[in-house]
Amino acid sequence: MPDTAKPFAIVTGASSGIGYELAKLCAQNGYDLLIAADRIGIHDAAREFEALGAKVEAVEVDLATPEGVDKLYAAAKGRPVDALLANAGHGLGHAFLEQDFAEARHVIDTNITGTIYLLQKVGRDMRTKGEGRILITGSIAGFMPGTFQAVYNGTKAFIDSFSFALRAELKDSGVTVTCLMPGATETEFFERAGMEDTQVGQAKKDDPAYVAKVGFDAMMNGEGDVVSGWKNKFTTVLANVTPAGMLAEQHRKMAEPGSGKR
């Protein structure tokens, strides 16, 4: 039987990047872990978190599918979840009309469909229990039209909006919802999205450990949303007062294939 005296967290996308750092923070703060990713590296990550004193179960699964989410949820074996850190997601660069639609759909199903399906399943349990913390990884990309990254930015606009709505619905329930909105972060994101030759792909990015700490602290404090880094905060302020067409052209400059240094 698990040691239910310790708090229990589920972290998705935990094999690398922000998700890895979030899971590490959970382990360092006394949580047992159920971690998931669609890569074999999730098992290596599990061993590292166990070395920090956490009991860890790793599930290698595609959270873009209902079956994958069901498998992850079942792996909790009914143990009450104290914190859900819904971080799984990925991007896709290049022009929408040139993309393989199966790849574009996988972005949508990972970033939106699988995410909100897991949120509903775990969120219902938390509401019944009357307590819980939810951290959703959104993005400042949700504030601007993503020229040459249109599907990804669209999914993050959905997630950013959804998180605020869910938080309002859970008001006074004992369950808090926090949205972490980072900017470009030094992870495998741009390589996986095929954006190594872009300006944003080659630019200096934020440290994922720093971004995760900002999000983790906000979750623990029950904050509604947090943007990591003052430059990103400034970007969101500008985005709220800049015409969408102008934002789309600005995004083109940093995300258009070949816009980076040759």
By annotation, the residues acting in catalysis are: 152
Q: Are 253 and 145 in contact (CB under 8 A)?
A: no
Angle, in degrees to the nearest 10, between helices 150-169 and 115-129: 10
The residues, ordered by sequence, that sit 6+ positions from 128 with a Cβ below 8 Å of its Cβ are none
Ramachandran assignment for 71, one of left (phi > 0), alpha (psi -120 to 50 degrees), beta (any other)? alpha
- 69: nearest Cα among 12, 124, 118, 14: 118
- 244: nearest Cα among 104, 117, 150, 120: 150
**CA-angle at 181, arms to 71 and 47, nearest 5°:** 45
The residues, ordered by sequence, that sit 6+ positions from 165 with a Cβ below 8 Å of its Cβ are none
